[in-house]
Amino acid sequence: MDPMKPMTPMKPMEPMKPMSGSQPWWPEDLGQPSTSGSQNEMRYAFFPEKRRLLIQQAGKLTTYDSGDRRISGVSQQASQGQSLVFTDQNGSVPLDDLAKVH
């Protein structure tokens, strides 16, 4: 039986590359949203300084004028045919209450 050979030292590991953040899906001129999220193939972002709420569903981006509302969240109302309802400083805001921006 041959004697055991010494182990070869480990090579230093390469430094980890930083993870790349996801790219924003909204127009750059809007800046950073105060809130954003996604749910059931829909995503939204709210820009209070620009008074804009953006919603992307099935690849289609729609912009809404939020007026004086300060959007803070979203829910989907299954009982109402999958309609979107947002939350603002005064309570619930159905998406139909917001004006589309052309």
Give the least confident one: 16-20, 21-25, 93-97.
16-20
Task: Please enumerate in sequence order all residues whose Cβ is within 8 A of that of 35, keeping only pairs 6 or more positions apart, or say none.
Answer: 45, 46, 71, 72, 73
Degrees (nearest 5) of the Cα angle 90, 37, 27? 100
What is the DSSP pairing of strand 60-65 with strand 99-100?
antiparallel
pLDDT band at 77 (very low <50, low <70, confident <90, very high): low
| % pLDDT > 70, the chain | 87
Q: Is the predicted pLDDT of residue 80 greater than 50, yes or no?
A: no
pTM over 0.85: no
Q: Which of 44, 45, 76 is nearest to 92 (CA)?
A: 76
DSSP 8-class letter at 29: G
Task: Quote the CA–CA distance of 47 and 102 in Å, as a whole number.
Answer: 17
- Residue 81's pLDDT is what? 52
Q: Is the dihedral of CA 83, 46, 48, 99 positive or negative?
A: negative
- Residue 5's pLDDT is what? 87
Q: Quickly tell me which residue has 């947002």 as its tokens.
A: 86
